Structure 1
Amino acid sequence: MDLHKAVFMDPNILLGIVNDQLRHDCHDLHVLATVMEVDETEIEDKLAQIGFHYEEGINQFSPDL
């Protein structure tokens, strides 16, 4: 999968891809953003559209409460 284009996907699909990458391949959001060749805020803003935020402690995007 071309992660460079993933940020342009539907945010619900992006959520699954991002959390999978964080779980298996990237030890934090900064590394993931570097691999995807985007700014961290692009990922965060896209997933905020569907009510998710990045939790550094668990290295995953979780639903807003």
Structure 2
Amino acid sequence: MGANYLVMDINIAYSMVNMKLRDFYSSLDDFCEGEDVEKDTILARFNDNGYIYNDKTNQFIYK
């Protein structure tokens, strides 16, 4: 399932990942483990599209 975040429209992925971080996972590490996503890969995908992960708020934000 996790690979879908890497190919879907970035705006949809952004919304879905932040919702899952907010509702189900206490950190990006937990999300990656639960969703079977490589942390470096998802960080690169979001970074390439102008988003960074804020560990204090546990969400991706637009830079």
Cα distance, 1:7 vs structure 2: 2.5
Runs of 4+ in 1 over 3 A off after TM superposition: none
User: How many residues are matched?
Assistant: 63
- Structure (1 or 2) with the greater helix fraction: 2
Q: Structure 1: which 5+ residue stretches go unaligned?
A: none
CA RMSD across the alignment: 1.4
Counterpart in the other structure of 1:19: 18
Note the C-alpha offset of 1:4: 4.8
Gaps of at least 5 residues in structure 2 are none
| % identity of equivalent residues | 25
Q: TM-score, normalised by structure 2?
A: 0.86
Normalised by the size of structure 1, how large is the TM-score?
A: 0.83
